[in-house]
Amino acid sequence: MTHLPADEIRSLFSRAMSDMYRKEVPQYGTLIELVRDVNREMLAADSDLRARMDSAGEIARLDVERHGAIRLGTASELFNIRRMFAVMGMSPVGYYDLSVAGLPVHSTAFRPVSTEALQINPFRVFTSLIRLELLEDRALAAEAEEILSRRKIVTDDCLSLIEKAEAQGGLGASDAEAFVAQALETFRWHSEATVPAETYERLCAAHRLIADVVSFRGPHINHLTPRTLDIDAVQKKMPERGIAPKAVIEGPPRRRADILLRQTSFKALEEPILFPAETGTEEGTHTARFGEIEQRGVALTPAGRALYDRCLAETRAAAAVGASGEGAGGYVAALDAAFESFPDDHDSLRRDGLAFYRYRAAAPLPAGLQASPEAVEQLLASGALVADPQVYEDFLPVSAAGIFQSNLGTDEQSNFGESANREVFEAALGREVVSEMALYEEIERESLSQALAALAAGEV
Ligand code: OOG
Ligand code: NI
């Protein structure tokens, strides 16, 4: 039997999720249009950018590129979600400890890992697991655990299709379609809470993230984020289209050679919900779902990342943004100043070993040059070899915390303190998370040896 490639199942799912979210949150549709307009203008105005992205295979993925986020309640939920995403060719990459920012969650990102799969559709889902063990109120933690133990977030039909995919090594076309429809059910919004208003209030008082997870039937997708080529332009134009962005863009400053990831979001919507009550239902509201945009730059090596972390720490020590955005100007100035020491062109980033590249052979080997690792600089200078920046496919814990915070009240307590627990997370997941650094390294190494081989064989 022929299986539908996992990459195609992921594309189907990502489109279905986007259609569903557009219906649920109309502002998301507005944001998608704005991002598409800005990307088109950028590509039309900058033919170098267009050519570069085209030869790196990045134009095609731009319009389908997005990430989403969900929050899970229990180890077994994480285990089943991992199996569900595996059917779509998505693996858990990276471990993010958000307790450093006072949030009672730890997370991973499910995403495709190979160059080919990323080019087809890089859909990613930032997936957090709440940590009830960090709650001081042990009775409330036990109550939350009991409530969560009663829910099933993956439909029975979906579970059987996952089992079938695991047994057969994939799904045929009609099974794949049924799987996508069933998987979508897990992420749907439910306007009826599963707990009475009084329980919801107590959960909120412990932490609003906990209330968001424990009070509902499933892990509603809380945002979907398109990728823009100019986040500053989109941020500026958001108010024109009736969207109010958060005060500052998370991540590195605006630069000539983009690094890592810059993100901004709009505030969560206040949505009407119904709580079960002794007689019928009781009306209330909940804020969970929001919108976000991102701009992706080159992935950094461990050395580059350490430099990034230092520059960011310096910025945050020098300037702080207040609860309602005061001090945003000072923060941006401090950010620009702190990153002055960070090389801002791809040649330096590559030569200094700060960022990851993907090599390709672009012209025949010039006379007198060897297709060898020692000759890389000369081959690049001659144009026979080209180094494309590898897009950063992952997330940043400090930025993610900023995105979480902008959607929670600013009076949130943050007294959990650092307590990473990767072992517990991986035990729940049922496997180890993939190291993102190892993936970038391998792509760089492999691409260089293939490009050199192609030059040596005269295949260009
Ligand atoms: C996830 C927030 C983090 C990002 O892009 O860094 C995030 C959440 O609110 O569940 O989406
Ligand atoms: Ni996000």
Q: Is residue 54 part of a domain?
A: yes
Instruction: Report how far residue 29's alpha carbon sits from residue 7's, in angstroms, rounded to the nearest whole number.
Output: 24
Tell me, in angstroms, the distance from the centre of ligand 1 to residue 158's CA.
25
Proximal ligand: closest to the CA of 69: 1
Q: Whose CA is nearest to atom 6 of ligand 1?
A: 400
- The model carries a pTM of 0.94
**Residue 414: per-residue pLDDT:** 47
Would you tell me how many other CB atoms lie within 10 Å of the CB of residue 232? 15
**Residue 412: per-residue pLDDT:** 42
**Residue 417: per-residue pLDDT:** 55
CA 152 to chain CA centroid, nearest Å: 25
Q: Which domain holds residue 169?
A: 6-297+393-429
**301 — alpha (psi -120 to 50), left (phi > 0) or beta?**
beta
CA atoms within a 13 Å half-sphere pointing along the CA-CB vector of 142:
3
Q: What angle do CA 126, 391, 184 make, to 5 degrees?
A: 30
**Residue 411: per-residue pLDDT:** 37
Q: Is residue 206 part of a domain?
A: yes
Atom of ligand 1 at shortest distance to CA of 105?
10
**Is the CB of 128 within 6 Å of ligand 1?**
yes
Instruction: Report how far residue 301's alpha carbon sits from residue 256's, in angstroms, rounded to the nearest whole number.
Output: 19
Substitution site in 81, 287, 392, 403 for ligand 1 pocket (most atoms within 8 Å of beta carbon): 403
| DSSP labels, 363-399 | SPPPTT---SGGGHHHHHHHTSEEEEEPBP-S--HHH
Q: Is residue 36 part of a domain?
A: yes
Tell me, in angstroms, the distance from the centre of ligand 1 to residue 297's CA.
18
Query: Which mean pLDDT values do the consecutive 10-residue runs of the chain (460 residues) have?
Result: 94 96 91 92 91 83 89 98 98 93 92 94 96 93 97 98 98 98 97 97 94 97 94 92 87 96 88 95 93 95 97 90 82 95 97 97 95 97 96 93 74 52 95 97 97 95
Q: Is residue 174 part of a domain?
A: yes
Query: Which CATH number covers residue 232?
Result: 3.10.180.80
Q: Is residue 458 part of a domain?
A: no
**Is the CB of 72 within 6 Å of ligand 1?**
no
Query: Which amino acid is residue 95, in one-letter code?
Result: Y
Number of domains, the chain: 1
Tell me, in angstroms, the distance from the centre of ligand 2 to residue 206's CA.
23
**Is the CB of 107 within 6 Å of ligand 1?**
no
**Residue 409: per-residue pLDDT:** 56
Q: Is residue 240 part of a domain?
A: yes
Would you tell me how many other CB atoms lie within 10 Å of the CB of residue 2? 7
Q: Is residue 339 part of a domain?
A: no
Q: Is residue 435 part of a domain?
A: no
**Residue 380: per-residue pLDDT:** 98
